[in-house]
Amino acid sequence: METLNKKSENVEAMFNSIASNYDFLNHFLSLGIDKIWRNKLVKHLVRNNPHCVLDIATGTGDLAIQLAKKHKNTSIVGVDISANMLTIGRKKISKGNLQNRIQLVQANSMSLPFANNEFDAAMVAFGVRNFEDLTRGIAEIYRVLKPGASFHVLEFSMPSKFPMANLYRFYFRRLLPFLGGVISGNKGAYTYLPESVFSFPEKEKFIATMTGEGFKECTYKRLTFGVATIYVGYKRL
Ligand SMILES: C[S@@+](CC[C@H](N)C(=O)[O-])C[C@H]1O[C@@H](n2cnc3c(N)ncnc32)[C@H](O)[C@@H]1O
């Protein structure tokens, strides 16, 4: 348990320290493609017309804001462990006049402060690979979803084919830690990013984790030559 708590503490400290540069670096380092990926997740999620949606590891709220703008019937609760990421998120939500639609809560997704069966859908963008205990995080999300609810995950993944696989490794191992380190002043955070991506149990392995925690009809779709992947599953009783 001690080592589990340590990872959460480190992740919280790391995101607190890069929060002010996070949005800029995110869009810059992904050449803006991250917005297109989030949009794909949102498009899929709104098909079931959810009202109450949970955005886990919401960070500065980009995914929650994108959903609120796209689907006027939703109210969204964003959860994140980092106070500084949430402070920036709250400013963006006020600026977009979305404070009645999006509420941000500081919490660790290992232990969500919500009752069972509360949400119509849950989503996580670039968050699950930071969980100190992936299985426990997925089980918590399952617990707070209503029967019939959908669960959507967007995460980086490893392209397997030449030349994308080689380019991706070079970019993530060399360029990204350098650029991220120079701009944010925190090289550690941008060294952690590729490490966490390379060690994440992706594709079929992640589907097995979702299925193991009760999700049904789990599928995944590779995006942009496999650089990112969207996973979807349902809570069926
Ligand atoms: C890469 S950012 C992604 C933010 C946002 N979802 C996006 O699409 O830009 C990862 C976020 O996960 C949060 N996080 C990591 N572990 C967490 C945990 N155990 N509970 C809640 N939030 C967590 C971090 O604080 C950070 O804001």
Dump pLDDT digits (tens) for 27-85. Answer: 888 888 999 999 999 999 999 999 999 999 999 999 999 999 999 999 999 999 999 99
Q: Is the pLDDT confidence value at 1 over 70?
A: no
| pTM exceeds 0.75 | yes
Q: Is 37 exposed, middle or buried (0-12, 13-18, 19+ CB in 10 A)?
A: buried
Please give the Cα distance from 149 to 50 (Å, whole number). 8
Higher pLDDT among residues 153 and 168, named by residue:
153
Q: Which of 68, 62, 65, 66 is nearest to 85 (CA)?
A: 62
Q: Is 189 exposed, middle or buried (0-12, 13-18, 19+ CB in 10 A)?
A: buried
What range defines the domain where residue 52 resides?
2-158+201-234
For residue 154, which atom of ligand 1 is closest to its CA?
8
CB 131 within 8 A of CB 11: no
60 Cα–ligand 1 center, Å: 9
Instruction: Taking residues 212-235, report their average pLDDT.
Output: 97
In a domain, 40, yes or no: yes
162 Cα–ligand 1 center, Å: 31
- Which pLDDT does position 164 carry in this prediction? 85
In a domain, 174, yes or no: no
- 193 pLDDT band, cuts 50/70/90, is confident
161 Cα–ligand 1 center, Å: 29
Dump pLDDT digits (tens) for 82-126. Answer: 999 999 999 999 999 999 999 999 999 999 999 999 999 999 999
Beta-ladder partners of 174 = none
100 Cα–ligand 1 center, Å: 22
63 Cα–ligand 1 center, Å: 11
Residue 201 DSSP class? -
Q: Is the pLDDT confidence value at 4 over 70?
A: no
Tell me how far CA of residue 188 lies from CA of 66, 108, 169, 222, 223, in angstroms.
Answer: 29, 22, 17, 28, 27
Q: Is the pLDDT confidence value at 171 over 60?
A: yes
CB 207 within 8 A of CB 128: no
What is the tally of structural domains in the chain? Answer: 1
In a domain, 79, yes or no: yes
Q: Is the CB of 59 under 6 A from ligand 1?
A: yes
Q: Is the CB of 62 under 6 A from ligand 1?
A: yes
Please give the Cα distance from 202 to 134 (Å, whole number). 12
85 Cα–ligand 1 center, Å: 8
Q: Is the pLDDT confidence value at 151 over 70?
A: yes
Q: Is the pLDDT confidence value at 232 over 80?
A: yes
CB 70 within 8 A of CB 98: no
Q: Quick one: what percent of the chain has pLDDT higher than 70?
A: 98
In a domain, 195, yes or no: no
Q: Which of 194, 86, 196, 187 is nearest to 131 (CA)?
A: 196
Residue nearest to atom 15 of ligand 1 (CA): 130
Q: Is the CB of 168 under 6 A from ligand 1?
A: no
In a domain, 175, yes or no: no
SS3 232: strand
In a domain, 10, yes or no: yes
Contacts of 196 (CB under 8 A, 6+ apart): 129, 130
Residue nearest to atom 27 of ligand 1 (CA): 59
Instruction: Taking residues 213-233, report their average pLDDT.
Output: 97
Q: Is the CB of 206 under 6 A from ligand 1?
A: no
Dump pLDDT digits (tens) for 10-24. Answer: 999 999 999 999 999
Instruction: Taking residues 138-149, report their average pLDDT.
Output: 98
- 3 pLDDT band, cuts 50/70/90, is very low
Residue nearest to atom 26 of ligand 1 (CA): 59
Q: Is the pLDDT confidence value at 150 over 50?
A: yes
In a domain, 188, yes or no: no
Q: What is the CATH number of the domain that holds 79?
A: 3.40.50.150
- 187 pLDDT band, cuts 50/70/90, is confident
